[in-house]
Amino acid sequence: MFIHKEGFVTILITIIFIVVINFLTDRYVSNLWLRNSILLFSLVLLIIVLQFFRNPTRKITACEDCIIAPADGKVVVIEKVVEKEYLNSECTQVSIFMSPFNVHVNRNPVGGIVKYFKYHPGKYLVAWHPKSSELNERTTTVIETKSGHKILFRQIAGALARRICWYIKENQNVKQGEEMGFIKFGSRVDIFLPKNYNISVKLNDKTIGGKTIIANSN
């Protein structure tokens, strides 16, 4: 288990805050119950922040003809939609909601060439809001596989998430399952799949990024 690089600054700020508040408590608070409560709050806060930025080692499920989960979380949407930003065709949308307690590393669902990437500033609606995929802060990535299939997926910020990080760019050759980004403090990832893919998950299924198979090509 490692701590993700995106958490270093946040963890440092949290530690400084904890040190300051406990120093002040030690000097100015005499009530034993209150002192112990502040200490307990400090420990809980540090544990929450550390677990949020955890980055466990993963053995990736490599599969050229399948889509693997880009994130840990729960499947909250499986539906037919028309993707209008790039694909301009009917697709199956699979959405994975990441709670603040999930690992928040995002991974490439397929390997291939990044044909399109765009960052969209936007709102911070709750991640399960029907319009969050279109209105929230988000990124859109399209990867073309060796077989010529174009897979589009989005990192979407939620009500708590205020920063989306990404590590890819257009024309880059990427591997299936390797890190492509990180979303801080809860959100979701949408995947848009062509008609020739069979969905392998159901609503409310739990996914593990880099391991769970989302779909298989015909």
Which pLDDT value is given to residue 2? 87
Positive or negative: CA dihedral 111, 189, 91, 140: negative
Dihedral-angle region of residue 17 (phi above 0 means left; psi in -120 to 50 means alpha; beta otherwise): alpha
By the 8 A CB rule, do 185 and 51 touch?
no
Q: Is 187 a catalytic residue?
A: yes
pLDDT in tens, 132-154: 667 778 899 999 999 899 999 99
Q: What's the pLDDT score for residue 1? A: 66
pTM over 0.85: yes
CATH superfamily of the 66-217 domain = Glucose Permease (Domain IIA) (2.70.70.10)
Instruction: Give the mean pLDDT per block of 10 residues along the chain (218 residues).
Output: 88 95 92 93 92 89 91 94 92 92 93 95 67 78 94 85 85 95 85 92 95 92
Q: Which of 133, 187, 200, 217 is catalytic?
A: 187
